[in-house]
Amino acid sequence: MQNSLQVHDWREWQSYRKDRGQPPWIKVHRCLMRDHKWVALTDTQRGHLISIWILAADNDGSIPDNPTLVKKLCYLEETPDLDFFVNQGLLDRDANVTSQWRQHDHPETEAETEAETETEAEKPMSRSDEPDRVFRYWQEVMSHPKAKLDRKRRQKIRDRLADGYSTDDLMQAIDGCKRSPHHMGDNDRGTVYDDIELICRDAPHVDKFLKLANQPDLSGMSDAARKTALAAQRWINEG
């Protein structure tokens, strides 16, 4: 028996029948490209993490808390730094969880794989879950872990989803607000304007923040370049 690590939010990101046993696939969501934890990883660490996810699919999101064994099971050239992934919030450690691990597994048949893909792999997220997903993303990006999804915030998110924006659109708008010095406190009042209710206030607000998401990151810029970028962002804010 091995102590185990659990992939963080495994059940949120991976969905398949719980009686399936070993699914022949995992999901890699496009919104990872805007997740600051993923972006901060090196190419090697990303490869290790995806390999860990594939391994975790064998046991409902858990892997052995043993870097040497994970290296062997995932056929990696380097030993993965599991402690790093735990510290980054990508894996959860629970010393009380144990699992039995096998060195080799029998692959599922081609027929099973095709049936799985057609009936389960593309199952959409429930509409009722979408505001929660957007709000959790906002909490993480804006560092508001204790903020609550009250009725007003939920309704604003729902209204914009009803307008036709996707969850990815709203998460990108959150990124745009984060990139705006004005909304992060670089203004005459020194006040931060980052509430999800503001970002999702109406369609024009979402559109502006989507534009800001494509603006350059101002950190590390020279003063002259930063002033130019700020002027462009002010034009977007006032437009």
For 50, the enclosing helix (H) or strand (E) is helix 43-56
AA identity, residue 219: S
pLDDT in tens, 182-203: 888 888 888 999 999 999 999 9
Structure tokens, 175: 């990124």
Does residue 115 surpass a pLDDT of 50?
no
pLDDT in tens, 120-138: 444 455 566 889 999 999 9
Residue among 46, 43, 60 nearest 7 (CA): 60
Does residue 204 surpass a pLDDT of 60?
yes
pLDDT in tens, 60-69: 888 999 999 9
Contact 209, 174 (CB under 8 A): yes
Q: How far is CA 8 from the centre of its chain?
A: 10
The secondary structure of the chain in percent helix, strand, coil, rounded to multiples of 5, reads: 55, 10, 40
Distance CA 111, CA 181 (A): 53
- Of residues 219 and 53, more confidence is placed in 53
Rounded to 10°, the helix 223-238/203-213 angle is: 160
**What pLDDT is attached to residue 86?**
92
* pTM, 2 dp: 0.46
**What pLDDT is attached to residue 31?**
79
